[in-house]
Chains A and B, each alone.
Chain A
Amino acid sequence: MQWTINGQVREAEVDFRTSLLDLLREQFQLSGTKKGCNQGACGACTVLVDGERINACLALAVQYQGRTITTVEGLAENGTLHPVQAAFIEHDGFQCGYCTPGQLCSAVGMIGELERDHPSAVTADLAANGIEWNRDELRERMSGNLCRCGAYNGIADAIAAGLAKELGEELGEELDEELGEEIAR
């Protein structure tokens, strides 16, 4: 069986019961992806498959053969942290760090959802062309990633700042403006 993980083609023969999460953690020693509940409730295992975020604990390894998977270990490029990673440090978007890889992958996956205009539960106008990007959209979309230490404010600040950097003038500015207002307040 074969997967492309963080840009590398990886091969292994695994039990058909093996989850994508256990494949990463136990077969490939990519233990950055975390097991928090193993039943899709906490989001700690979030990874990107072809750019979309999924819970790796609910995915079977066999099911994802041939797919392109990005884990937290693959977010930095050539030793440079992804803007969202750097912002997590700056804005204290974590305490114990266990939910952090899932938060990060989830945040990066969210960018694509916004670019593709996927609405969320708080999107005011589902028929509108384009999503009005605001703090509530961010918070709603990140609500599948639990943080028991309660770093939620820092996480939201970090993602807003990181996305502003990543997306520049598009979605970023709106968000950064709102963030700036909140910080000023």
Chain B
Amino acid sequence: MSALDKERSGDNQPAGVALAGDYWRPEGGPDPLSEKGRIGIGAPLSRVDGAEKVTGSARFAGEFTFEGMVYAALVYSAIANGRILNIDRREAEAMGGVVLVMTHENAPRLNTPPVFLRSPNGAAGDDHPIMQTDRVHWNGQPVALVLAETQEQADAAAESIRVDYAAEPAMTDFELAKTHARRPDNVLGGPAEITVGDADAAFEAAAHQIDATYTTPRHNHNAIEPHALTLVWTTGDGDESGREGETLRIHDASQCVDLAVASLAEVFGIETSQIHITSPFVGGGFGGKALWQHQILAAAAAKLADRPVRLALSREGVYRVVGGRACTEQRVALGADEQGRLQALIHSGIAAMTQHNNLPEPFFQATKCLYAADHIRLSIDVADMQMLANTFMRAPGESVGSFALESALDELADQLGMDPLELRRRNEPERDPTSGLAFSSRHLLEAARSGAERFGWSERSATPASRHEGEWQIGLGCATATYPYIRMPGAAARITLTPDGATVGIAAHEMGMGTATVQTQVAAARLGLPVEKIAFHYGDSHLAGSVLAGGSQQTAAIGGAVIAAQRALVAELLALVGQDSPLSGLSPDEIECRNEGLGAIGNGSRFETYAQILARAGQSELSVQADAAGSEELANWSMHSFGTIFCEAGVNSVTGEVRIRRLLGSFDCGRILNTKTATSQFRGGMIMGLGLALMEETLFDPRSGRVMNPSLADYHVPVQMDVPEIEVMWTDIPDPHTPMGAHGIGEIGITGVGAAVANAVYNASGKRIRDLPITLDKLL
């Protein structure tokens, strides 16, 4: 018997699921599915796409084929700024199998794509024209594209292309760019400076002070699936609506199919109805799989050649074309009284950016909500550089910001001679310290307490470098993790009910987070159907709504849309039942979904199955679509996930090598929907946090502006042997103001880990490393 079956056979389960009320309003009750003991919620269901993934039958974007398809290869600029004088393509064009060479001289006219966070349709990483002029804007910009009958032919031809440039001076040195830093007009749509009281004066007056600078390098997502797409333009047949004209069909690896359609429509000057993107399997995203030049260039080349195109970026190509996380230099200044209460909290600094994108790496995000300081000043400045636009990467802001903040807290605890957890406990705020809003759900102290107990935190020696095992120095460290809850507008869901079950369709994404599995569970629970009778459809721009796989928002966004669709479905079903039905005369709010049908709340006999209702009405199916309610909850409460990370590190006193011996995350993220996939999500984030702490760094040459380690051989990510058995645990306390009482958990795992490791390294060795990654040279 599976765990799920066991849960299902339990006697004390609530019988059915009533329609959710206005969970987003203070007076609205919680979603019934957030109640403890709901059938299927939390069950460790194995992934619904597991069999496809272990047999190799799951087809990714670069594995589809079209009749007559040709392969693309890109040529990347070797300068960071200047003009292309000449592109010698003669040799390439004469090579076997070559179909065409596309450069700015012959590329179709394209509109500049709308930029993410700047335009409602924006999915693009930057607003540079795409192969339209002779200008070069960053080192690595695509300057030519070759199409050939095979990948080998395309690659060889691309290598033969010679480009002459007129290079111009470029701002490629962060140290220099910092001297011209500017205050951006916004950070993620909010202010770039936040002040409460007079933090500078309070800091000067404080009995205990920590004032330190922390630096974090560039990072790349490095999803194991390199970006790839297969596409075709068709003309004449028209789309499903019978409309004449061109259509662009794309198999892409995307975390925003709908937004990508909107952006591509602007680029090519066509209607969104003329573009169809599907992306059923995505081999990792982490923020990197939105819209970059390669998709647009592939579509442009396909148009030029009048052939279907496959473009699969090489690993190097991903580094040249797809932005990563920007480097930061952060100051954290803490002023505290003798009891460790924070009087001043200053978190300011500079992040690298370009003038062509809109993501100042928002490193102060975590600091906004974590500690009850009397006086707070947070600010972000940007240093404009001529480089590939930086972008979102797992927990943008919190991942690197929490390294600085949580390291500084550890430094303050050390100065005070206080346990770092106790220092944090003393600064636990009643309300959000910067917005003043009440927290919707904050049980950080409980997570910290239970995590500490499980980890054996009390064994930590307060004196650094006091525990040894042979040549290894052993230390313990902790740090707070946090990530916001958000639910973006635009989500909608379609539920199609048949006598055999229900299909839920929504333009959301599965990149390994477990979306398809968890949402199947949730839909089954909500509709009172077994999971086998739910088909969850996603990753297709033709489906309902627009749900970005970002900001850890999908779980809530999809949940909210399905809540709305359930209400619409119940209303439609009640309209069908007629007077002979036991459900006759009931209103939607008197109804619950149970046992594969609808029943009156509190009345077991007034019940009909979905199949009976449909049969009585003579319908083979019923399909409804509804938009999720607006995310008012975000205006009513301060909404965040929390956690505490505990780390045991060993530092080799001879070699400086750091090994992570134990790692534990204790989280407070609302109701956990699937313990199996949630465990993997938390661990995955924490492992990327280990990478951030110990090894990850995109090496950027300040002279040339070129990424110098564009490969998985030179950009180190954690491997199996670097990762200990990671323990994760959670409070499982539902947030009363979110769908299912849940929070998204894709990003919080990476937060806090950098500092937990750095603090453990300090406790082990007595060496405080404020510059990531903590490589062995810094410990010798």
Please give me the residue from chain B that is nearest to A72 by CB atom. Answer: B56
- With a cutoff of 8 Å between Cβ atoms, the chain B residues found around residue A149 in the complex are 224, 284, 512, 680, 684
Complex Cα gap A32–B511 (Å): 17
| Interface residue A50 (Cβ < 8 Å from any Cβ of B) | no
| Interface residue A38 (Cβ < 8 Å from any Cβ of B) | yes
| Interface residue A92 (Cβ < 8 Å from any Cβ of B) | yes
Chain A interface residue count, Cβ-Cβ cutoff 8 angstroms: 61
The A120-172 residues at the B interface (CB cut-off 8 A) are 136, 139-140, 142-156
User: What mask results when residues 216 to 248 of chain B are scored 1 for a CB within 8 Å of chain A, else 0?
Assistant: 000001111110000000000000000000000
Pick the contact of B314 from A38, A145, A146 — CB < 8 Å? A38
Pick the contact of B677 from A39, A92, A143 — CB < 8 Å? A92
| Interface residue B49 (Cβ < 8 Å from any Cβ of A) | yes
| Interface residue B687 (Cβ < 8 Å from any Cβ of A) | yes
Q: Is the CB of B677 within 8 A of A150?
A: no
Question: Contacts A73-B55, A90-B46 known; A151 to B315 CB distance under 8 Å?
Answer: no
Complex Cα gap A40–B315 (Å): 11
Distance (Å) between the CB of A97 and the closest chain B CB? 3
| Interface residue A1 (Cβ < 8 Å from any Cβ of B) | no
| Interface residue A36 (Cβ < 8 Å from any Cβ of B) | yes
Please give me the residue from chain A that is nearest to B681 by CB atom. Answer: A95
Complex Cα gap A44–B56 (Å): 12
Pick the contact of B224 from A33, A88, A142, A148 — CB < 8 Å? A148
Question: Contacts A26-B151, A149-B684 known; A88 to B712 CB distance under 8 Å?
Answer: no
| Interface residue A29 (Cβ < 8 Å from any Cβ of B) | yes
Q: Is the CB of A152 within 8 A of B224?
A: no
- With a cutoff of 8 Å between Cβ atoms, the chain A residues found around residue B152 in the complex are 15, 17-18, 22
Complex Cα gap A73–B63 (Å): 15
Please give me the residue from chain A that is nearest to B514 by CB atom. Answer: A95
Q: Is the CB of B512 within 8 A of A97?
A: yes
Question: Contacts A152-B723, A156-B720 known; A73 to B711 CB distance under 8 Å?
Answer: no
Q: Is the CB of B53 within 8 A of A97?
A: yes
Question: Contacts A42-B712, A153-B683, A153-B725 known; A95 to B720 CB distance under 8 Å?
Answer: no
Complex Cα gap A149–B55 (Å): 19
- With a cutoff of 8 Å between Cβ atoms, the chain B residues found around residue A36 in the complex are 224-226, 315, 712
Summarize A's interface: helix, strand, loop or mixed.
loop
User: What mask results when residues 22 to 57 of chain A are scored 1 for a CB within 8 Å of chain B, else 0?
Assistant: 100110011111111111111010000000000000
The B298-342 residues at the A interface (CB cut-off 8 A) are 312, 314-315
Select the residue from B49, B56, B57, B512 with max chain A CB neighbours within 10 A.
B56
Complex Cα gap A101–B225 (Å): 12
Complex Cα gap A64–B312 (Å): 25
Q: Is the CB of B50 within 8 A of A89?
A: yes
Complex Cα gap A45–B49 (Å): 20
Pick the contact of A140 from B676, B688, B721 — CB < 8 Å? B721
Complex Cα gap A81–B683 (Å): 26
Q: Is the CB of B680 within 8 A of A151?
A: yes
Distance (Å) between the CB of A61 and the closest chain B CB? 11
Q: Is the CB of B46 within 8 A of A92?
A: yes
Please give me the residue from chain A that is nearest to B49 by CB atom. Answer: A97
Distance (Å) between the CB of B394 and the closest chain A CB? 10
Pick the contact of A37 from B56, B514, B679, B711 — CB < 8 Å? B711
Q: Is the CB of A97 within 8 A of B712?
A: no
- With a cutoff of 8 Å between Cβ atoms, the chain A residues found around residue B711 in the complex are 37, 39, 41
Q: Is the CB of B721 within 8 A of A147?
A: no
Q: Is the CB of B281 within 8 A of A143?
A: no
- With a cutoff of 8 Å between Cβ atoms, the chain B residues found around residue A146 in the complex are 224, 712, 717, 719
Distance (Å) between the CB of B48 and the closest chain A CB? 10
A sample of 4 more A-B contacts (CB under 8 A), given A32-B57, A99-B283, A146-B717, is A18-B150, A72-B55, A148-B224, A148-B284
Could you name 26 residue pairs across A and B whose Cβ atoms are closer than 8 Å?
A: A17-B156, A18-B150, A34-B60, A34-B225, A37-B711, A37-B713, A39-B712, A39-B713, A73-B57, A92-B46, A92-B676, A92-B680, A94-B53, A95-B284, A96-B223, A97-B281, A99-B283, A104-B54, A143-B721, A148-B223, A148-B224, A148-B284, A148-B286, A148-B717, A150-B680, A151-B684
